[in-house]
Amino acid sequence: MTDTPKQPDAPKQPEGPQTPDAPAVPETRKEIPLEVIGRRQGMFGAHGSGDTSGFGGLAAAIVLPAPAERPYGGWFDEVADELEGALEEQGLDPAVVIEKTVVDRAELTFQIAREHLLATVRTLRDDPALRFELCLGVSGVHYPGEAGRELHAVYHLRSITHTRLIRIEVTAPDADPRIPSVVSVYPTNDWHEREAYDFFGIVFEGHPALTRIMMPDDWLGHPQRKDYPLGGIPVEYKGAQIPAPDQRRSYS
């Protein structure tokens, strides 16, 4: 009787990140403190019988992640330490420049005071230990319930040198929606800032030609803001006035 040959053991998988873009912290979620900035009723802001989405009874808190505590984990601490040190070398107080640091879903976000945005992104780009050479654009977000910080501009920065990705977030109030343009540091942000201005009304000061990019130049309002009319606005077409969808005659 011949013994069955022993099968070789499966190769042991290496521990830790497998790709350059792997997060610096484990994927396992832990409880993240949350900041409640409001409550949402129904779907898309509609109330009563006008809500045909099936979510008319929805009631949910509007929350944002709270500041993270040290240690952040992996290279997140390295980036935070280097950024704070580089700001101090320029005579800036990191506690004033960086309003909040968030680690959520294995992603690192620095919330920066808008008056210090240019100094921060220039440091992130030029410091040899940081080298975030590429800005992937800017997105607008509107949180009407966050008083005094309703408008958010969100930038994703990638370091090709160090294969890292972080997020920068800057806020402005509805009453003063001005944020410095970063086109002088990241020229490819030109059209992205125009889009955020067009849809959210964020005014990027210092932009070389801040005009609408999607909507007509004479369009009223900014369509992706939460306070934009859900039914749209009346449209004039060949001399005829077409009312907004929620104001048209019902045939049912």
Q: Does residue 179 sit within a domain?
A: yes
Q: Does residue 190 sit within a domain?
A: yes
pLDDT digits (tens, 9 = 90+) for 30-48: 566 788 888 877 766 656 5
- Compute the radius of gyration of the chain from its Cα atoms: 24
The count of structural domains within the chain is 1
Q: Does residue 13 sit within a domain?
A: no
pLDDT digits (tens, 9 = 90+) for 47-101: 655 566 667 777 888 888 999 999 999 999 999 999 999 999 999 999 999 999 9
Q: Does residue 232 sit within a domain?
A: no
Distance (Å, rounded) from C-alpha 54 to C-alpha 225? 23
- Amino acid of residue 212: R
pLDDT digits (tens, 9 = 90+) for 145-184: 899 999 999 999 999 999 999 999 999 999 999 999 999 9
Q: Does residue 155 sit within a domain?
A: yes
Distance (Å, rounded) from C-alpha 140 to C-alpha 150? 11
Q: Does residue 44 sit within a domain?
A: no
pLDDT digits (tens, 9 = 90+) for 105-132: 999 999 999 999 999 999 999 999 999 9
pLDDT of residue 37: 83
Range of the domain at 175: 67-225
For residue 136, the domain's CATH number is 3.30.460.80
Q: Does residue 85 sit within a domain?
A: yes
Q: Does residue 62 sit within a domain?
A: no
**The pTM is what?**
0.78
**Residue ranges with strand state E in 83-210:** 98-104, 107-112, 134-142, 151-159, 164-172, 178-180, 203-205
